[in-house]
């Protein structure tokens, strides 16, 4: 009887191990190609939504600039911090006019902080 019980337990443990072992860690593969009408695949990656605004640099801090967006962009905020740490070769000065392209990531602070900067240029 003990042998039979041990055999049942071993079979159950093996079944559990096999069932749990089929998943990959971090296996969230995302297919970025969009299907076409005839079942063909479009190999063009999906581009995330972007937002753009222009404004004047009010102050420069390490890795951040404070920008006053132009009036047509006043819905953003009268002033915003823009994270420019990923652009170390660019030199910003007070009074520069900048064009900021970002992915919509904004920290809830005052003034707001634009985090997901995709591109920035001095005009």
- Write down the domain spans for the chain: 51-122
Q: What is the pLDDT of residues 45-70, one digit of tens each?
A: 666 688 889 999 999 988 899 999 98
Per-residue HEC secondary structure of 2-34 comes to HHHHHHHHHHHHHHHHHHHHCCCCCCCCCCCCE
Q: Average model confidence (pLDDT) for the chain?
A: 78
Residues 6+ apart with CB under 8 A from 95: 56, 57
Q: What is the pLDDT of residues 27-37, one digit of tens each?
A: 444 444 455 55
The DSSP bridge partners found for residue 119 are 101
Number of neighbours of residue 65 by Cβ within 10 angstroms = 24
CATH of segment(s) 51-122: 2.40.50.140
The answer, as to whether pTM is greater than 0.75, is: no
């Amino acid at each position: 009887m003990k042998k039979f019980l041990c055999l049942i337990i071993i079979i159950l443990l093996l079944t559990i191990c096999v069932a749990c072992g089929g998943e990959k860690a971090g296996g969230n593969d995302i297919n970025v190609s969009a299907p076409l009408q005839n079942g063909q695949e479009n190999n063009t990656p999906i581009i995330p939504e972007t937002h753009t605004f222009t404004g004047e640099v009010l102050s420069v801090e390490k890795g951040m600039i404070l920008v006053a967006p132009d009036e047509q962009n006043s819905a953003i905020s009268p002033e915003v911090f823009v994270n420019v740490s990923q652009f170390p070769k660019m030199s910003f000065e007070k009074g520069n006019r900048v064009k900021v392209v970002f992915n919509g990531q904004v920290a809830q602070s005052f003034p707001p902080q634009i985090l997901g900067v995709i591109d920035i240029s001095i005009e």
